[in-house]
């Protein structure tokens, strides 16, 4: 299917070009996510980080800004507090973070990047930038804007993500990269 095809009927009812049934947007989104994660794993592995986990990209963005209480990691990741504790513990076990008592609330622990963790987070963000530029170099600005619009509709129909995820502004110009 060529990139940029215009859908004239609802996506779930759109016939594929080979006539074999409806276009499976959900399947395409799932495959795209898996391909993205595999590229992240490969490229980070080439940089010496063979232990990439799916949550690392979101956590890297959060923790590069400032330490975050363990309990507040859950919402941006779309996971429970218990799962957020496992993410924090995984970072600690890999040497990328420490868990320190919050000076304002001694009952809470905050996740703080170690120097190795800051380097790893920088590598994660660099790979994301490379992948964004790679995709952007293969499509036109209009195609990228169309994909962005579809993804925003998908995100907006999910109650959890539309409430918890910080949805970035629209795509930048392809020539300028991400």
What does the pLDDT profile of the chain (178 residues) look like in tens digits?
A: 444 454 444 555 556 566 666 668 888 899 999 999 999 999 999 999 999 999 999 999 999 999 999 988 888 888 888 999 999 999 999 999 999 988 887 788 899 999 999 999 999 999 999 999 999 999 999 999 898 888 888 877 665 555 544 555 555 554 444 4
Pairwise CA distance, residues 56 & 64, whole Å? 12
With the C-alpha atoms ordered 25, 31, 34, 40, is the resulting torsion angle positive or negative?
Answer: negative
Q: pTM to 2 decimals?
A: 0.77
Question: Would you list the DSSP string of 113-137?
Answer: E-HHHHHHHHHHHHHHHHHHHHHHT
Distance CA 156, CA 64 (A): 27
Residues of the domain holding 119: 39-156
Q: How many domains does the chain have?
A: 1
Q: Is residue 147 part of a domain?
A: yes
Q: Is residue 116 part of a domain?
A: yes
162 falls within a domain:
no
Residue 84 located in a structural domain: yes
For residue 3, the model assigns a pLDDT of 46
Q: Looking at residue 57, which CATH number applies to its domain? A: 1.10.10.10
| Whole-number Å distance between alpha carbons of 77 and 148 | 20
Six token digits for residue 68: 């975050």
**Within a domain: 130:** yes
Residue 163 lies in a domain: no
């Amino acid at each position: 299917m060529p990139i940029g095809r215009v859908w004239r009927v609802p996506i779930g009812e759109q016939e594929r070009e080979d006539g074999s049934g409806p276009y499976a947007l959900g399947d395409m989104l799932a495959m795209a996510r898996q391909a993205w994660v595999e590229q992240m794993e490969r490229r980070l592995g080439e940089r010496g980080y063979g232990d990439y986990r799916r949550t690392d990209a979101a956590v890297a963005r959060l923790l590069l800004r400032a330490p975050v209480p363990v309990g507040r990691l859950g919402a941006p990741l779309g996971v429970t507090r218990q799962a957020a504790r496992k993410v924090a513990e995984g970072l600690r076990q890999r040497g990328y973070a420490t868990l320190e008592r919050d000076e304002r609330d001694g009952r809470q622990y905050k996740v703080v990047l170690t120097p190795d963790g800051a380097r790893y987070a920088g590598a994660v963000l660099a790979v994301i930038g490379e992948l964004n530029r790679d995709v952007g170099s293969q499509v036109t600005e209009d195609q990228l804007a169309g994909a962005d619009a579809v993804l925003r509709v998908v995100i907006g129909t999910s109650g959890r993500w539309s409430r918890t995820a910080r949805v970035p502004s629209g795509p930048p110009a392809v020539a300028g990269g991400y």
